[in-house]
Amino acid sequence: MPEDLRKPKIYIIPAKPRLYIRVGIYCRVSTMSKSQEDSLENQIAGLQQFVSSNPEWTLCHTYIDQDSGGNVMRPGFQNMISDCYAHDIDVVVTKSISRFARNTVDLLETLKTLKRLGVDVIFQQENLQSSEADDDLLISLLGAIAQAEIESIGESIRWGLQHGFASGKSKLYSRKCYGYKHDQNGKLVIVAGQAEVVRHIFDMYLNGHSIIQIIRELISRNIKSPQGKDTWSKRAIQTLLCNEKYTGRVVVGKTYSARFPQYKQTVNRGEQRQYIKEDTHEPIIGLDIFERVQAEIARRSNIEMVAGTKRRKNTHYSSKRKQTNTTTKHRGEMDV
């Protein structure tokens, strides 16, 4: 057969599947105020547009947190890290360094871990990415600036609170609770029906009733909780019994925030100043009744402080025994 009549052999080389870079975007706001909600929506929309503008990228995950940037245990942040370990994403895109982390040490440690996993982090606002060696120093510097900024904000907030406490102008002095409402001038005024419930709870406790018994009594009388629920919680009763606001005075500074980076809310046991403002509003109960209840709470508690250490008591409070003693007294057999 002539050579020119031979059919040429054609081989098909299949097209390589297009490999997209899997991208996760990380967004964070500190609070849930309306302005912050808008900020969160803007962050998400802006980063989604940024990802879609790159034809080689595909958006796989969106991670969201409503928490302080000084807390690395944010759920969205931790989910992002877990997916990086699982090799589910190749690139993390976030608006700025301050959205990603405000603690310089945590920032650098996280970037080091992600770089080891082969995950690049891109900071849109600063136009930096962690895979670029020249950007390492600049990221460190900007991270330190973000940390210093949040520390300064924290100190300003702490100073503002203390100044408001000391001057008596803090709005915390007029924060309402069950039994009170605000009048047209923002002052606390008594809600008659709720005030009767407060007095009844204090009386029942002093007469030996347990918190569980008080809750059952309130349920039987169809008295709604401060949140409008059919059932009161033990915590609600305990808080009510310990609230000195019912005596017409207010104590502020009962808790305080630890310093950067934890910012953990801690009960103030004398580490920080407290402030008492007298005669701020009309009392519901007398100071003598309140103090008797506090003494009774301490007596019933199975925990006591010995040499600065908490210790469980050997005795245990029984409302039945208390009520038996009360009944005996009512029959004329008074203690001596």
- So what's the pLDDT on residue 88? 93
Question: H-helix or E-strand containing 130?
Answer: none
The CATH classification of domain 171-326, taken from the options 3.90.1750.20, 3.30.565.10, 3.30.300.20, 3.40.50.10420: 3.90.1750.20
Distance from C-alpha of 244 to C-alpha of 301, rounded to nearest angstrom: 19
**Stated length of the chain:** 336
Q: What is the pLDDT of residue 103?
A: 74
- For the chain, where do the domains classified as CATH 3.40.50.1390 start and end? 21-150
Cβ burial of 85 (10 Å; 0-12, 13-18, 19+) is exposed
Q: Are 248 and 276 in contact (CB under 8 A)?
A: no
User: Quick one: which of 208, 213, 266 has its CA closest to 237?
Assistant: 213
- The one-digit pLDDT tens for each residue of the chain (336 residues) are 555 566 777 878 776 666 688 999 999 987 655 555 568 888 999 999 999 999 899 999 999 998 765 666 889 999 999 999 999 999 999 998 888 877 777 888 888 889 889 999 998 988 888 887 555 666 666 666 666 666 655 566 566 666 776 777 777 777 889 999 999 888 899 999 999 999 999 999 999 999 999 999 999 999 999 988 999 999 999 999 999 999 988 888 777 665 555 556 677 676 777 778 888 889 999 999 999 999 999 888 876 555 555 556 665 556 655 555 544 444 333 232
Q: Is the CB of residue 114 less than 8 Å from the CB of residue 94?
A: no
Does residue 247 contact residue 287 with C-beta atoms inside 8 Å? Answer: yes
Distance CA 77, CA 63 (A): 7
Do residues 27 and 69 lie in contact, with contact meaning Cβ atoms separated by under 8 Å? no
Q: Rounded distance, CA 166 to CA 148, Å?
A: 27
Residues of the chain with CATH 3.90.1750.20: 171-326
Contact 93, 47 (CB under 8 A): yes
Mean of per-residue pLDDT scores for the chain: 79
Tokens of 263: 């910012």
Angstrom distance (rounded) from CA 93 to CA 99 = 11
Euclidean distance between CA atoms 7 and 1, whole angstroms: 11
How do strand 91-94 and strand 120-123 relate by DSSP bridges?
parallel
Structure tokens at 2: 């002539």
Beta strands in the chain (DSSP E): 21-29, 57-66, 91-94, 120-123, 128-129, 180-182, 188-190, 250-252, 255-257, 265-267, 275-277, 303-306, 309-312
Give the architecture (CATH level 2) of 21-150. Answer: 3-Layer(aba) Sandwich (3.40)
Residues 115-147 pLDDT 10s = 889 999 998 988 888 887 555 666 666 666 666
CA distance 94 to 215: 49
Predicted pLDDT of residue 70: 62
Residues 180-206: pLDDT tens digits? Answer: 999 988 889 999 999 999 999 999 999
Specify the residue for token string 């991270």.
143
What is the model's pLDDT at position 277? 82
Q: What is the per-residue pLDDT for 332?
A: 36
